[in-house]
Chain A
Amino acid sequence: MGRGRVRAEPLELILYQSDAGTARGQASVVCFPESIDDLSFAIRAANRHCVSFVARGSGTGLAGGATPVANSLVIVMTRMNRILEVDPVGRVAWVEPGVLNLDLTRSVRHLGLHYAPDPSSQQACTIGGNVGTNAGGPHCLSAGVTSAHVLAADVVLGNGDIVRLGGLEPDAIGYDLRGCFVGSEGTMGIAGSIAVRLTPDPPETRTLLADFTSVDAAAETVSGIIAEGIVPAALEMMDAPITRLVEEFVGAGYPLDAEAVLLIEVTGLIGGVDAEVDAIRRVALERGARQVKVAITEQDRMLLWKGRKSAFGAIAKVAPDYYLHDIVVPRTRLVEVLKRVYEIADEQNLLVMNVFHAGDGNLHPLFVFDGSEPGIWERVYAAGDGIIQACLDAGGVLSGEHGIGLEKRDYMSLAYSAEDLDAQARLRDAFDPDGFANPEKILPTGSRCGEMKRAPEGTWV
């Protein structure tokens, strides 16, 4: 692979020792393939030297998926960033995995189309990384997460072989390998090109801002809207600390004295949109909303969204450190779990902010702190344990969109039985029998029946 495309200088390797999460690893070599053949070549070379490998998109992942363990070769996909083909009639685009999520949407905007999954990190994250984590976003509530938008992928397996998973036809012959691959965090191979579905822009869009004097009332409104039989295009919640922070940062027009706000979007044809706006307004007012603002023009709507989308940027500006969690609970349990999140933060004497995909029951408790304070990390981790337990107690799941990676690997046995995990390990091994692709992620060691317990080398989480 030419000189510039393989690096091993110690200083440079440090850049690749982790993603945006807290787990640190150790890279042995970094390479930058420019084609699927390069990618296959790099993987075969790693095979020959008996070195494992890990795919890296933009490294915005939060679960340690792209963090190299066991001295893995880091394969950075960002130079494979061409949009290969756009078919406006079939509404399909073939892209290389390094294309940035927002760049894809921008490049098809003039066709009246967009790529529906819109993670808050969409300016920075890659489509390949999104496939790796099965990424979600505010508008995945009605549109579905990444898996519903990936039709096919050409994947390089752990042994360097290139296989096509899925296809442009509605059903591929045999097992849904495409479905297995999406969300597998690079442990089943690396996608070298991806066919995604493009979605037509809706004819009408309304963005609503409802503000509340209590978090409970806002959370009850979320459950109330779903119970009413309405699935909005997006249904996001922000609590008081984050609302104030964001308002100071961008001036989106959010009320500074609210305890919580809901940002709700409905899309479609005018009859349905009007009816849903009315119903949502009623549900919100019945549950104690002070005000429900409806933005119709593109400009007003964008301003409301700007606040939501700047939330993480605003936090990064004020807090030396933050820890962002990702759990999902049944939507009917939102009120009680959110209450528990605040209690846990109190118990650990931590500042928590909540800005999340409420409509899916996908919470993102965010602890904001100064990591240099003695003993603080222990409290942050203890709070994380508490949140995960509260989530599982309420019938929830470990992650809605960030994935398991290293971060939550050792919680997997709280969520699944030994037999469940053994079956997962078997599926992984069927894709990658030699275990070269992103080892030691997702499944706790010991998942395979009869496997020895061992600590991953060179990691701390």
Chain B
Amino acid sequence: MTAFAELAEQIGNATAVEIMGAGTQRGIGGAVDASKPIVEVRAPTGIVSLDPADMTVRVLAGTPVGVLSAALAEVGQECPLDPENSAATVGGVLACGCSGIRRIRYGPIRDRVLEVRFITGGGRLVRGGGPTVKNVSGYDFPRLMVGSHGTLGMLVEVVLKTQPIANKSSWYTSELAPDLLRTSIYRPACIAWNGKMTYVLLEGHEIDVLSQASELSLEPAQPPPHPIGEHRGRISIDPTRIGSLAKSLGDIKVPWLAEIGVGTMHVATNNAAELHDARLVAHGEGGWLLREAGAPLLDPFGAVPSNREVMGRIRDAFDPLGKLNPGRLPFARFTP
């Protein structure tokens, strides 16, 4: 029996499963309900085929991102999943749906996935999308699976779109206001701001990187430090409201790092109650806070989407017995 078929049978026969990647992001999306007997399942690992001339790679979902990156680097390419920890697996990163720090230039990770194969709660192996860079044939399972927190299926294999590694990539700092930098720089790879300093990542041809840096008097620098703390969250907000959100977070003294032009804001604190306060501030500005780590008593999402009924029906359709990561994504349960 093939590895996929064995996993499908295992999931089909189980009462409940927890899908495991490398395991550090288990706090994201909510704790798995421990009241049922849980079987841990893991996606297989390995690179199936790497086609540099087509700029695509077919990879098994359990493969650590670091392993994938190393293989791609050998042919001068990359896939900007950019997890903070390169031990994270491809499946885990996609399931969490958190895009990396270079999103403003390279897009969200959901735009990277061309094809998915996954095992549903009923133990069926399903394929969606296709291996080509462009495809509209049927419904977009790749995008559905990204950010689904392992509640619709276990990813076993994906095809990702790769890109050439830029010939120059450098971090800089600047005293200029982040919004001014954003309008002055053509396609930056990241503009990060923590209220004191603006950090800029430029990628591209060496001539362009150096000339933009000198025109704007940017100072070469290390990447921005992420806020440190046991309790961590990621705020998602209309990027035009970063400024007022920053002010409100400053009022409650929670450290943050904002991705300008994207609307992602990283916050961390050693006091769980402060993460809750940061969430309230985010809600006040029309955003929401994903609990990434710590603060076990805090709701994983802190809000219920207005379209949760559709989400609940989708979950029911793919996992009618509620086997996959039960407890995670708690609002997406169908209540007719």
Nearest residue in A to B128 (C-beta to C-beta)? A420
Question: Chain B residues near A417 (CB, 8 Å)?
Answer: 127
Interface CB pairs A-B, < 8 A, 23? A87-B240, A168-B239, A169-B288, A170-B103, A170-B262, A171-B147, A171-B264, A173-B303, A173-B304, A173-B305, A174-B329, A177-B310, A179-B143, A200-B186, A229-B76, A229-B164, A271-B211, A275-B205, A330-B54, A361-B133, A401-B136, A424-B138, A428-B139
Question: Chain A residues near B99 (CB, 8 Å)?
Answer: 170-171
Which 7 residue pairs spanning A and B have beta carbons closest together?
Answer: A271-B207, A179-B143, A229-B164, A272-B205, A269-B208, A397-B130, A426-B317
B169 at the A interface (CB under 8 A)? no
Q: In chain A, residues 152-172, which have Cβ atoms closer than 8 Å to a Cβ of chain B?
A: 157, 163-165, 167-172
Q: Is the CB of A89 within 8 A of B240?
A: yes
Chain B interface SS verdict (over half): loop
Question: Chain A residues near B137 (CB, 8 Å)?
Answer: 397-399, 404, 408, 412, 415
Q: How far is the CA of A175 from the CA of B316 in the complex (A)?
A: 13
Q: Is the CB of B136 within 8 A of A133?
A: yes
Q: How far is the CB of B39 from chain A (nearest CB, A)?
A: 22
Q: How far is the CA of A417 from the CA of B236 in the complex (A)?
A: 37
Choice from A168, A169, A231, A423 contacting B128 with Cβ under 8 Å: A423
Question: Chain A residues near B77 (CB, 8 Å)?
Answer: 229
Nearest residue in A to B210 (C-beta to C-beta)? A271
Query: Interface digits, A115-155 against B, CB 8 Å rule (1 contact, 0 not)?
Result: 00000000000000000011010001000110110000000
Known: A174-B331, A400-B134, A423-B124. A226 touches B55 (CB 8 A): yes
A28 at the B interface (CB under 8 A)? no
Nearest residue in B to A166 (C-beta to C-beta)? B307
Known: A168-B238, A169-B288. A180 touches B208 (CB 8 A): no
Q: How far is the CB of B71 from chain A (nearest CB, A)?
A: 16
What would 12 more interface pairs be, CB under 8 Å, given A144-B111, A403-B136, A431-B313?
Answer: A90-B240, A133-B136, A136-B134, A147-B111, A170-B263, A170-B264, A173-B331, A174-B301, A174-B329, A330-B51, A400-B136, A402-B136
Q: In chain A, residues 354-411, which have Cβ atoms closer than 8 Å to a Cβ of chain B?
A: 357, 360-362, 395-404, 408
Q: Is the CB of B146 within 8 A of A400?
A: no
Q: Is the CB of B307 within 8 A of A163?
A: yes
Q: Is the CB of A424 within 8 A of B128?
A: yes
Q: How far is the CA of A181 from the CA of B125 in the complex (A)?
A: 23
A442 at the B interface (CB under 8 A)? yes
Q: Is the CB of B110 within 8 A of A176?
A: yes
Question: Chain B residues near A145 (CB, 8 Å)?
Answer: 134, 136
B132 at the A interface (CB under 8 A)? yes
Known: A147-B143, A170-B99, A170-B236. A404 touches B148 (CB 8 A): no
Known: A163-B306, A229-B76, A423-B124. A400 touches B135 (CB 8 A): yes
Q: Is the CB of A227 within 8 A of B52?
A: yes
Question: Chain B residues near A231 (CB, 8 Å)?
Answer: 55, 163-164
Which residues on A are within 8 Å of B, measured CB to CB? 87, 89-90, 133-134, 136, 140, 144-145, 147-148, 157, 163-165, 167-177, 179-180, 182-184, 200, 202-203, 223, 226-227, 229-231, 268-272, 275, 328-332, 357, 360-362, 395-404, 408, 412, 415-417, 419-424, 426-431, 433, 442-443
Nearest residue in B to A164 (C-beta to C-beta)? B306
Question: Chain A residues near B140 (CB, 8 Å)?
Answer: 134, 147, 179-180, 182-184
Q: Is the CB of B76 within 8 A of A174?
A: no
Choice from B56, B186, B317 contacting A202 with Cβ under 8 Å: B186
Choice from B144, B211, B332 contacting A179 with Cβ under 8 Å: B144
Choice from A90, A226, A270, A272 contacting B238 with Cβ under 8 Å: A90
Q: Is the CB of B134 within 8 A of A328?
A: yes
Q: Is the CB of B141 within 8 A of A423?
A: yes
Nearest residue in A to B111 (C-beta to C-beta)? A148
Q: Is the CB of A169 within 8 A of B329?
A: no
Question: Chain B residues near A173 (CB, 8 Å)?
Answer: 288, 301, 303-305, 331
Q: In chain B, residues 251-307, which have Cβ atoms closer than 8 Å to a Cβ of chain A?
A: 262-264, 286-288, 290, 301, 303-307
